[in-house]
Structures are given as C-alpha cells and as structure tokens.
Structure 1
C-alpha cells in the first residue's frame, strides 16, 4: 500500500530544507533546482506545493512566526507587567532550540534585503502585513499599560512605529556590523527597554 503523504508536512519539509541555501546564497541567487535537490525531491514536485520561490520564503517565515508565537504564549503569565510582555514578545531565544539561531538571523536579513529590492510587491506586501501584526500587538500593549497607569504616553502610534522602525534598522545594522544572534538580541532588548522606561518615568 502506498504511503499517504501529509501535504502540509511535506510543504513544511521542503520549505525548511531551503533555509541553509537561502542563508548561504541569498534568496535571489537560489534556484528552484537547488531547492529541489536540497529537499530530495524532483523539481516538478516543488511546484505541486508552491507556485513560486516567494511562497517558499513566506512559508518559512510563517513556520518560524508560529513557533515564536507558541513559545511567547507559554512564557507570559497573568502577573506580568505590560513592559515584561513586550520584552517577551521580542525574545527570540526559542530559535536556539528549534533552529540554527545564526541562520535565522541571516535569513531575516535576507528577507528584509529582498523587500528593499522587491519589484513584484510580493515581499513588500507580505512583510508589511507581518509588521502590521507587530504594530497591533505593541500598540494594544501600550494602550493597556497606559490604562493601568504603567505608562505615561502622549502618542502611542508614534512610539509603536518607533519600536518597529528600530527593529527594521537593527536588522540592517546587525548585517553591516557582523553582529551574531546574541549580540543582536541584547541590543534589541536594551533599546526597547530604554524606550519603554522613558514612558514610566514620572513627569516633572
């Protein structure tokens, strides 16, 4: 009897098998042929699961994002302050358990690079929707913190966008400065903590 193939599992397997290629060669320079070889399938099989290379890229990040969300949900507690929840949201320590943490950082840098040179709008649309989720979470947390008198914020929208812009900029800086995963994580925590602390200081 032929083995029944779980299509979702196979799709994930193919996508995850391409991570190393994307990290080593870059997204634009990696071919479908190379992805098929890395995944141990025929080129035609790739197109049974994905319309194009972009779908493979987005599937990878969907998988990583889902695992990060699940890890985040396990870490937070009802007794946490809003500030602690925001810092946990940007805690990517689970990457060292599920993936090669350095590869994930490099991969995210390639994602952002692809978005910057994107002429199809596919990368831009995907990552803007991705960062919109960050915006919604952060702004809701800041509003909750303000209502609980944890924060004193004049412009929640401005602070939320500042945090997201810093996140995008840090990815570029980490690439330019050859930062590793831990150094990037430390810088992320340090600067977001600083921004949030400005909102917790008593006004003179």
Structure 2
C-alpha cells in the first residue's frame, strides 16, 4: 500500500519531522530495534497521528531511502550533463557524487549502511513488496547505477579495452560506497591515526580507481 501521506496536502513540516526523527533512530539503534510507537514518541505525536502519514515502519524506512535516491540521481545527472559523456566521465561523476555525500551528508551513508540488508532483500524480487509501491517505474531504481556506469557503449575508447563492463561497474559501486561509508563512520579516528581527513582519503581512493581504468594514450614523438 502506498504511504498515506502521499494523499495529504498539509503538514509538510510534520512529515519532515517524522522522517528526520526516524532516520536518526534507525542510525543510532538499528532498524530492527526501532518501533513504530518509538518513532511517534520521538516526534511528540501519538501513534494514531503517525498512522495518518504511514501505515507502518517499513513505509517510513523506504520513503527516507526514496527521497535520498531521488536527490542522488538528480545530482548525478547534473554532473554528467557537464561532461563529454564518455564511459570514463561516468565513473568520474559517480565518484564525485560519493565525495559530495561524504562532505555534505555523511549521515546518509550511515543510514544506507543500516538499510542495506532490507534493501537487498526487497529488491531481489522487483514484482512484489513495498519497493514497487514507493518507486514509480520512471524513477532512478535498483540497478540503474550499474546501467548508468555501463552506458550504451562501454568500450568507447576512454577506458581500458580489457575491462569487463559488469565486473568493473559492480566493483566501482560496492567499493565506492563501501569506502565512503567506512570513512563516514569514523572521521575523528582517521584524523588522529593517519593525520589526514576522510575526504582526502576518499580522493586518493577514487583517483587510484580512475587511473586504473583509464585507457593509456600512446606516446607520440615530439
């Protein structure tokens, strides 16, 4: 069932308050440990009032994810429109997006980390479950990041010809998100231990990946 709030025209501030409070609870306590009643209590409202917006905890969880994915996809395409639209540039845009999230909203990464098991389970069967109730067919959906990185012609001369498209795109997604999530979890410890900051380490990590996939241009005689 589609979340009830989608049919409501008022209380936008209350909706934002609910989603913000729920996200903080999910990050702090873990998704399984948070109850529908606890979310209502944290917002200073009754369970019945919360029910006017959402049927259950899962709808709240997926709507938080839905909003974040919408923001990510919009920013990703903004980056991409400013490039020469090669395969290599798509990887640059993807890593630029991850760096932006790490810099501006590290809590997003902590939420997605907590959410990852639920996300994987629900998106295994694209025909059922809450996923298709929250995401419309024309929105950025599960698997679209992989399709974005592969493009319509992966081997366009901008990346190494020996790369397997599926493997390198999957590696970029999982290692990229894994890196920024780990960095978001312990930024203070990174400064103390390595005398540098999380964003610098992300830059180094992504630069090495990009260097490894870029097609080397043949040297020309001067």
When the two structures are superposed, what TM-score results if normalisation uses the length of structure 1?
Answer: 0.69
Rounded to whole Å, the distance in 1 between the matches of 2:102 and 2:43 is: 21
Secondary structure of 1:28's aligned partner = helix
Q: Does 1:6 align with 2:9?
A: yes
Cα distance, 1:200 vs. partner? 2.1
**Alignment match, 2:76:** 72
Rounded to whole Å, the distance in 1 between the matches of 2:75 and 2:141 is: 18
Number of residues paired by the alignment?
Answer: 188
Bigger Cα Rg: 2
Match of 1:89 among 94, 114, 137: 94
Of stretches 59-68 and 184-193 in structure 1, the one that deviates more from structure 2 is 184-193
Provide structure 1 residue ranges, at least 5 long, that are not aligned to the other structure. Answer: none
Provide structure 2 residue ranges, at least 5 long, that are not aligned to the other structure. Answer: 1-6, 126-130, 132-139, 191-195
**Alignment match, 2:179:** 170
**Alignment match, 1:108:** 112
Distance change (3 Å), C-alpha of 1:169 and 1:5: closer
Match of 1:140 among 109, 132, 151: 151
8 A Cα contact 2:40 2:50, kept in partner:
yes
Alpha carbon RMSD of aligned pairs, Å?
3.8
Cα distance, 1:60 vs. partner? 0.5
Cα distance, 1:193 vs. partner? 3.4
When the two structures are superposed, what TM-score results if normalisation uses the length of structure 2?
Answer: 0.65
Of stretches 4-13 and 149-158 in structure 1, the one that deviates more from structure 2 is 4-13
**Alignment match, 2:216:** 202
8 A Cα contact 1:174 1:184, kept in partner:
yes
Rounded to whole Å, the distance in 2 between the matches of 1:139 and 1:173 is: 25
